Amino acid sequence: MPIDWNESNQVFHLYNSRISYLIQLVHGKYLAHLYWGKRVQVLQPQTILTNKGRAFSPMTEPTDPKFSLDTLPQEYPAFGNGDFRTPAYQLRTQDGSTNTEFVYDSHEIVKGKPPLKGLPSAYIEDPSEADTVVITLVDSLLGIGLNLQYTIYRDHDVIARSVSFEHRGSSTIEIHKCMSLSVDFHDSAWDWLHLQGTWARERHIERQPLSHGKQSISSARGASSHQVNPFVALLSKNSTEEFGDVYGVSLVYSGNFQASLEISPFETTRLSIGINPFDFIWVLKPGETFQTPEALMVYSAEGLGGMSRTFHHLLRSRVCRGVYRDKTRPILINNWEATYFHFTEKKLKELADSAAGLGIELFVLDDGWFGRRDNDKSSLGDWFVNKRKLPNGLAGLADYIGRKGMRFGLWVEPEMVSPDSELYREHPDWCLHVRNRQRTTSRNQLILDLSREDVCEWLMDTLTDVFRNASINYVKWDMNRNMTEVGSAALPPERQKETAHRYMLGLYRVLETLTERFPQILFESCSGGGGRFDPGMLYYMPQTWTSDNTDAVERLKIQYGTSLVYPAITMGAHVSDVPNHQVGRVTPLPMRCHVAMAANLGFELKIDQLSMEDKQEVMKQIQSYHQFKDLVCFGDLFRLLSPFEGMDTAWMYVSQQRERAIVFYFKTLATPNPPLFRLKLRGLNPKVEYQINHSEQAYSGAELMQIGLGLPLVKKDFSSELFFIKAVNGMELAVEGIQ
């Protein structure tokens, strides 16, 4: 059983063969955090905590004068009764106070992992995969139970945490803050790392030393956002891509979030992540329960690379769901950058004809097929086909595409409504708004109020009709603005601050229903590119449009940064025209293909207008992609050279058996008179002989990893190279000392 409760020590030990997490019950009341990291056998856990009375740290236990909550490393700390650090939660009771006294009541250890009601979460397929402990604290005055849920996976170095508040008392309370996890580290010499950006520049890596006081990242946009990602990591100072302790936490949630860090005066570090408490109040009535989203905690002793691989395995196999989870994805063509809104059926057919001839497998019709949508000023909400553009309807186009041997995909932006739409004219109160206030538009649109059940029902029915209307195999689910005037006409005044979270619950319900109803549809989430690239969305839609920026050079950083948490199989990547529409850069076609081939390959360009030579190049690249796309989708990622550190970028994917690998190498700007350079590979079997690019010559894995692969000298900007690595049949080298 990987969760032990030791009655005499009063210690919970959650472990698998590689990691441990230790919690101690102190004075029979308080949950103290003892340890999280590499697997340990602890014989004397009760000696880990040292009580040391500190001036100005209040004395919480009259019987233990040195004990103070202010210095205790805790599991779910409160504010107001001695601990002056950042609390994990805050409740406001009917008498106006925010003081609580939650103390240990009971616990239950169960096989498996219970799902979270109404929220996405990591799952199991068999109860033997994980164990869960729910520790219940109770505030007897309020009659509220606080359930701290911890799951440890057997085969993933992951602990999943969440919290629920169960109201068994008699007076209504307000939840002002309820983080999904809080962890107190016993030291403070950390760097912290997060992913920042904006539209077309998502998930750039930022690493900096943690300093005294508080640091945080957050989104109040009603979406996880382009600007920050619901992920943060603490890294030991000497940690690198390969070595050192790294602690990563990721929130399975797509709305407002906050991650905060605080170093205390005694050099301990508190980390928390959860729903953003800013502008959030949840009213909890007697008999009701509030469930927080889930946070995934990853510990890696193998630096950032180890952390990423753990996240990748878990997200790929136990967060993503559906029939496409274990399948490589079809190569697609999307008409957006080829036509924008200005297409006719004839134009689309020409694109489809060329695409089919080159080996493309899926045709995606993007924005502009419905209502009177010829630009972004109207028609969101009017989900009926524009017969002027598509006289034979979606079904006619889909049939044509089908006859070409391709599958058909469709773009929708269901969460939105244009003020200039039939839907808005009929239901002006169906959008998020605050009565008598301006309704701020963004991209000329408003957001449907998915906190309302009637709006969700309408949306599910409408989309069901659209998806049944034609043979649709793929849906791109877009979302092109963030929330303003966050209020709902259907909620009473005291519940207005619940709107943003209720919206997410409504959206998740819609997605659950539709993905269940249409299991054959591959859903790709999108929010102006990667504005909602988070584990919550991946639970429903197993891939995300990574960024609207399709420039190959920009994409190196975006895809590299994204790979810190998210596996390649979750990233959409397209080859687009040059000069690039976002940055105006001209890069060669092979480089554009190679960058996109490091994820789910797609094309988004005037493919019918390519020269014969370029068409042949596209065909060649597609054929080559088929040889290794399983490695990209299901292999282990090793990042070798970072685009954030120079002109060279390299990464590789290695098969689970380590008998095949693919190495991607890119040089953005050429260097005059450059040094000779060897690229040290990783993740191979040192004892195995490998061939490179089908050549006769064989190299040992050790040779490729220790001495490296000689790179050609290239006198050209924007060059790229792929290396196919394959084990020579059954060759195991019996070399002394190599293991």
Residues that bind ligand DGJ (CB under 6 A): 336, 366-367, 411, 478, 480, 526, 528-529, 545, 548
Q: Please give the Cα distance from 38 to 639 (Å, whole number).
A: 23
CB of residue 553 vs ligand DGJ: minimum separation in angstroms? 19
Q: Please give the Cα distance from 385 to 392 (Å, whole number).
A: 9
CB of residue 570 vs ligand DGJ: minimum separation in angstroms? 16
Of 603, 660, 593, nearest in space to 630 by CA: 660
Q: Please give the Cα distance from 206 to 191 (Å, whole number).
A: 10
Q: Please give the Cα distance from 86 to 615 (Å, whole number).
A: 58
Task: Calculate the CA dihedral of residues 202, 206, 210, 216 and round it to 10 degrees.
Answer: -10
Q: Report the run of H or E that residue 579 belongs to, with start and end.
A: none
Q: Kindly tell me which of 365 and 709 has the beta carbon lying closer to ligand DGJ.
A: 365
CB of residue 604 vs ligand DGJ: minimum separation in angstroms? 8
Q: Kindly tell me which of 311 and 408 has the beta carbon lying closer to ligand DGJ.
A: 408
Q: Please give the Cα distance from 287 to 285 (Å, whole number).
A: 6
Task: Please name the residue that has the structure tokens 């849920």.
Answer: 149
Pairing, β 173-185 against β 89-92: antiparallel
Structure tokens belonging to residue 485: 């005037």
User: Per the residue annotation, which of 366, 382, 534, 548 is the catalytic one?
Assistant: 548
Give the burial string for 1-18 (b: 16+ CB within 10 Å, else e): ebbebeeebbbbbbbbee
Of 346, 334, 333, nearest in space to 392 by CA: 346
CB 572, CB 559: distance < 8 Å:
no
Q: DSSP string spanning 73-108?
A: -BSS--SSSS--S--SEEEE-TTS------EEEEEE
CB 228, CB 258: distance < 8 Å:
no
Q: Kindly tell me which of 272 and 421 has the beta carbon lying closer to ligand DGJ.
A: 421
Cα 65 from chain centroid (whole Å): 45
Q: What Cα–Cα distance (Å) separates residue 192 from each residue in 265, 273, 635?
A: 18, 14, 27
Contacts with 119 (C-beta within 8 Å, 6 or more apart), sequence order: 252, 253, 291, 293, 294, 505, 508, 536
CB of residue 529 vs ligand DGJ: minimum separation in angstroms? 5
Q: Please give the Cα distance from 157 to 17 (Å, whole number).
A: 9
Q: Kindly tell me which of 379 and 621 has the beta carbon lying closer to ligand DGJ.
A: 379
Partnered with residue 385 across adjacent β-strands are 370
Q: Which ranges constitute the DSSP H helices of 498-579? A: 499-517, 535-540, 552-562
Structure tokens belonging to residue 307: 């952390």
CB of residue 696 vs ligand DGJ: minimum separation in angstroms? 45
Of 8, 13, 10, nearest in space to 36 by CA: 13
Residue 584 zone, left/alpha/beta (φ > 0; ψ -120 to 50; rest): left
Q: What is the DSSP letter of 330?
A: P
Q: Kindly tell me which of 211 and 375 has the beta carbon lying closer to ligand DGJ.
A: 375
Contacts with 254 (C-beta within 8 Å, 6 or more apart), sequence order: 223, 224, 504, 507, 532, 534, 536, 537
The helix/strand/coil state of 228 is: strand
Q: Please give the Cα distance from 89 to 230 (Å, whole number).
A: 18
CB of residue 88 vs ligand DGJ: minimum separation in angstroms? 36
CB of residue 276 vs ligand DGJ: minimum separation in angstroms? 24
CB of residue 368 vs ligand DGJ: minimum separation in angstroms? 8
Angle between helices 589-596 and 552-562 (to 10 degrees): 10
Contacts with 369 (C-beta within 8 Å, 6 or more apart), sequence order: 385, 386, 389, 390, 394, 410, 411
In angstroms, the first-to-last Cα distance of the chain is 31
Q: Kindly tell me which of 602 and 701 has the beta carbon lying closer to ligand DGJ.
A: 602
Active site residue 548: yes
Residues 176, 178, 181: CA angle, nearest 5 degrees: 160
User: Per the residue annotation, which of 70, 83, 184, 478 is the catalytic one?
Assistant: 478
Active site residue 551: no
Task: Calculate the CA dihedral of residues 731, 734, 737, 739 and round it to 10 degrees.
Answer: 40
Structure tokens belonging to residue 22: 């230790």
CB of residue 659 vs ligand DGJ: minimum separation in angstroms? 37
Residues 659, 660, 666: CA angle, nearest 5 degrees: 145
Active-site amino acid positions: 478, 548
